[in-house]
Chain A
Amino acid sequence: MTKDVYLLRAFEAGADAVLVLACPEENCRYAEGGKRARKRIQWVRAILDQIGMDGQKRLFIYNTAAAGEKAVKGIIKDILSGLKHIKESP
């Protein structure tokens, strides 16, 4: 389960960005897991915005957990290149 506190604690530990890889929403074994993860990401992004850390640029969710190594590597590469333009986490 993607608990919101785990995402925040990752930033507390010094992460500049957090990527959540979830299964496609229509393919969740537990029916709603992907949808709930997306809602929680939105919630935590709003918290990060309130702190002054741009949530949209630091917290990501991709529903491609089953897409394969190449796709995941591509996502990580995109995120890392985006991080060059934002400040390090406190």
Chain B
Amino acid sequence: MITGEQKPLQEILGIIRPYKNLLILGCGTCVKTCFAGGEDEVAVMASAVRLAYKKDGRKIDIRELTIERQCENEFIQESAGEAARSDAVLSLACGAGVQAMAKRFKDIPILPGVNTTFIGIQETEGIFTEECSGCGDCELAVFGGICPVTRCAKRLMNGPCGGSQDGKCEIDPGTDCAWAQIIDRLTRLGQMDNLKKIIPPKNWNTSLSGGPRKLVREDHMI
């Protein structure tokens, strides 16, 4: 899932300031799971903005709506009516959702209410961890399902650095050393031989470093 955090309220109030008629649009998928932009968060945001405006003696007309996913046209179109009635849309979706909305509704400002952070998982209740960098060349089969690109602070591909201590990363002692985990896991799987092969310097062309990417599936194009 994509994780994100709501922007500070004061920042959001600054972003929406020019607009008198606002749609706050939530997304029912990733941002709902990380408590940033689902239906409940839309309701809280609307209430907080109305309170803030009331306190300042200003008026704003706010409507609330949450769609299943803001990154797919078939769901985006459900918001067309409300969007058309609005001066602007405050989207609580991830950056992909905000941009998908902007591509669809070219004449309506689509404003971000969430800072999109990473591709990750809910490790445990209330804790989300970054797991995948979207590098475009996955080698998790070599590393026992633990990604050194994402989870090693130094992105080392051929073993730990000298700073790994007691299973913790020297960059941040609160972070587990990915290489300690890789070695534990490969040992458990009986696959330590995977590490005998030297991994060459990574070709980053398949990642965002190579420019914005596109996936084309002609088998799905009619």
Q: Does B106 contact A (CB under 8 A)?
A: no
| Chain A contacts for B55, CB-based, 8 A | 51-53, 90
CA distance A4 to B47 in the complex (A): 10
| A50 CA / B7 CA spacing, docked (Å) | 12
Instruction: Report yes or no: B40 in contact with A8, Cβ–Cβ below 8 A.
Output: no
B47 touches which one: A8, A52, A90 (CB < 8 A)? A8
Q: Least Cβ distance of B10 to chain A in Å?
A: 6
What's the minimum C-beta distance from B114 to chain A, rounded to whole angstroms? 16
Contact B40 A5 (CB under 8 A): yes
Interface size class of chain A, counting residues whose CB lies under 8 Å from the partner chain: 10 to 19
Residue pair A47, B44 in contact (C-beta under 8 Å): yes
Q: Given A3-B40, A4-B44, A5-B40, decide whether A90 and B51 contact each other with a Cβ distance below 8 A.
A: yes
| Shortest CB distance A76–B (Å) | 23
Please state if A8 and B8 are interface contacts (CB–CB under 8 Å).
no
With A3-B40, A50-B8, A50-B9 as contacts: A8 and B48 at CB distance below 8 Å? yes
Contact A12 B47 (CB under 8 A): yes
Q: Which residue of B lies closest to A10 (CB)?
A: B47
Assuming A4-B44, A5-B44, is B10 touching A50 (CB within 8 A)? yes
Q: How far is the CB of A46 from chain B (nearest CB, A)?
A: 9
> How far, in angstroms, from A52 to B52 measured CA to CA in the complex?
8
Q: Are B54 and A5 in contact (CB under 8 A)?
A: no
* Contact status A90-B54, CB under 8 Å: yes
Please tell me if B50 contacts chain A, counting CB pairs below 8 Å.
yes
A–B complex contacts, Cβ < 8 Å, 23 sampled: A4-B40, A4-B44, A5-B40, A5-B44, A5-B47, A8-B47, A8-B48, A9-B47, A11-B51, A12-B47, A12-B50, A12-B51, A47-B44, A48-B51, A50-B10, A50-B48, A51-B9, A51-B48, A52-B52, A52-B55, A53-B51, A90-B51, A90-B54
